[in-house]
Amino acid sequence: MERQIYFLITLLFLPHLLFQTTHSYDLDQVKSWCNKTPYPRPCEYFLSNSPSHAHIKDKSHFLTISTQLALDQAMSAKSNMYLLESQCRNELEKAAWTDCLHLYQQTIQKLNQTMNPNTKCTQYDTQTWLSTALTNLDTCQTGFVELGVHDYFLPLISNDVSMLISNTLALNKAPYKQTGYKHGFPTWVKPRDRKLLLSPSPASQANVVVAQDGSGNYKTIGDAINAAPKSGPYVIYVKTGTYKENLDIKQNFITILGDGIGNTKITGSKSVGGGSTTFKSATVAADGDGFIARGISFINTAGVQKHQAVALRSSSDKSVFYSCSFEGYQDTLYAYSDRQFYKECYIYGTVDFIFGNAAVVFQDCNIYARKPLDNENTITAQGRTDPNQNTGISIQNCVVAAASDLEPVQSSIKTYLGRPWKAYSRTVFMETNLGSLIDPAGWVEWNGNFALNTLYYGEYKNTGAGSSTSGRVNWEGYHVINSSTVASAFTVGNFIDGNSWLPATNVPFQSGL
């Protein structure tokens, strides 16, 4: 169903109503092309009132026009968002509004990236960036809901931008063509980064060193990041210690190397229970593309009673995490958007502790469910909102087990592989050892029948006491995968185009099954 537009602040949205021009695209052409999209109404409305009167040549031209249309409306919505600051009645509304302002800017950035003629990108790149743009707008609205201030504020910011982006996703969608792997990594990982990740002496590779005892260039990681150049790779070596910092890494190509899991620790304690949105609760937020971490523990210490509390949020395209740990309870690891790869990592949590809407692969990781506040754990909550988004969670060659605090009471706690956070949630467990903690049903509902027919959940050649599929849910969207061809679609090589970027990071990876 198309989303309703609310014009409750007349002065803010009046330009949309009054915008009329003497020239526009041919109306018959507009109707014909817009009817090929999931949301023809906003497409027709805005193109009919466009100042252009050019002829729509073909599908490629129409995609360009549609993307520009989404960009124009996103920029208009962001301008309106600035004006809404005066409507914030309390700190919770202000917190969610602040997220929205940032997320609209990120949406504009992704749309500009797809439109920039100087950007060398594939159709897969474009689909990734459009998927992120749509995720940003959904997250904007989610912040108001989780802080309980949506009834007043959400109608003031609703618009057609999400539907226009969904149209571009449908138009751009194309069959995926697999690229190769090199030295166990997708080819998007550069040779320099590969060597860096596998280096036995990270300090020798670093541009700067962080040490709490003053033996480095900086005493805090934040100071080291603030000193990073605007472009080019920048490597930070962080010595053993517990660094109580909340980091928001906006620069591209930042690498942070630590002394190993449990040695170099970054901790924070923000949470929804403490008044933050989930998005802003992250101890570390990696926004700049090409972020790499090795040998770091990312920890949120808010505790089980503070509900959503993120240890790491990554919206970094082509980000890599090698031999890291992520420790929290609810919403520990926010694989927010774009392409991500996790290798030989440890992940701890209770409810939805691997979640988000990235295209993400976890390989050779250990996933530990902890003792929850209630009697139920859910490992994943994938957030795909559109059937054409190329996003999802793929867990391959991993181990799923009970953490030490869950083991004594495991029999009284139900632990599930996941639940559908959004309508087109997509998660696959492949060749993974599932411990006895996994409930025979495997998966659990989010809310009644929501998304059970539109989600995609799959299991392929898993082992362990919790791997039997005989008692699994019988939802239309659940699949026992028996075909290696189907399963290979969720491997590093196919699912995150890993062969094109991972080899450069020097992180070992398995391209296929």
User: What are phi and psi for residue 88, nearest 5 degrees?
Assistant: -70, 125
Residues that are catalytic? 352
Contact indicator for 182, 193 with CB cutoff of 8 Å: no
Any residues with CB less than 8 A from the CB of 134 and at least 6 apart, and which? 162, 165, 166, 169, 385, 386, 389
Whole-angstrom distance, CA of residue 182 vs CA of residue 240: 32
C-alpha angle 300/348/356, rounded to 5°? 75
Whole-angstrom distance, CA of residue 228 vs CA of residue 235: 9
Any residues with CB less than 8 A from the CB of 196 and at least 6 apart, and which? 202, 205, 235, 255, 257, 292, 505, 506
C-alpha angle 38/40/43, rounded to 5°? 115
Which of 89, 93, 75 is closest to 159 using CA atoms?
75
Contact indicator for 348, 327 with CB cutoff of 8 Å: yes
Give CA 129 to chain center in angstroms: 11
Interaxial angle between packed helices 40-48 and 59-83, expressed in degrees from 0 to 180 and rounded to the nearest 10: 90
Identify the burial level of 172 via C-beta atoms within 10 angstroms of its C-beta, where 0-12 means exposed, 13-18 middle and 19 or more buried: buried
User: What are phi and psi for residue 265, nearest 5 degrees?
Assistant: -120, 135
Sign of CA dihedral 441, 443, 447, 453: negative
Any residues with CB less than 8 A from the CB of 99 and at least 6 apart, and which? 139, 140, 143, 277, 279, 280
